[in-house]
Amino acid sequence: MSNRITAAELSADLSGIDLLIDVRAPKGRAENGEIASAVILPKPLVAEVFAGPLASVPKDARIVVFCGSVNGSGPVVGTLAGLGFTNVADVEGGYAALKERGVA
């Protein structure tokens, strides 16, 4: 149950995105770089963080999740949908596609 978007569907300045979440492992971020505006959130902690520090994020906030692959971000989208978030998507091609688009 994933709402997948392409990097081309995002504006280069990420306008319209309330929260950009990077769920890549530290090694992936170290080797490939980061997006300054992204919240770094380990996959196993998603539910816990959205119940705690990010509990005030509105359920209709536009949330975009990316990883190194959809195998990482897809399940996070499912977790967030299960928590009641209604406007969540992951990026087809993950970080590499965002970087190619000029977002990263």
For residue range 44-82, list pLDDT tens digits in order.
999 999 999 999 999 999 999 999 865 789 899 999 999
What mean pLDDT do residues 11-21 have? 91
Averaged pLDDT of the chain: 91
- Comparing 40 with 69, the larger pLDDT belongs to 40
Domain that holds residue 96: 4-101
The single residue listed with the structure tokens 């980061």 is 34
Instruction: Return the CATH number at 95.
Output: 3.40.250.10
The alpha carbon torsion through 47, 49, 53, 58 (nearest 10 deg) reads -40
The mean per-residue pLDDT over the stretch 12-33 comes to: 93
Q: How many domains does the chain have?
A: 1
Q: Above 80 in pLDDT, residue 20?
A: yes
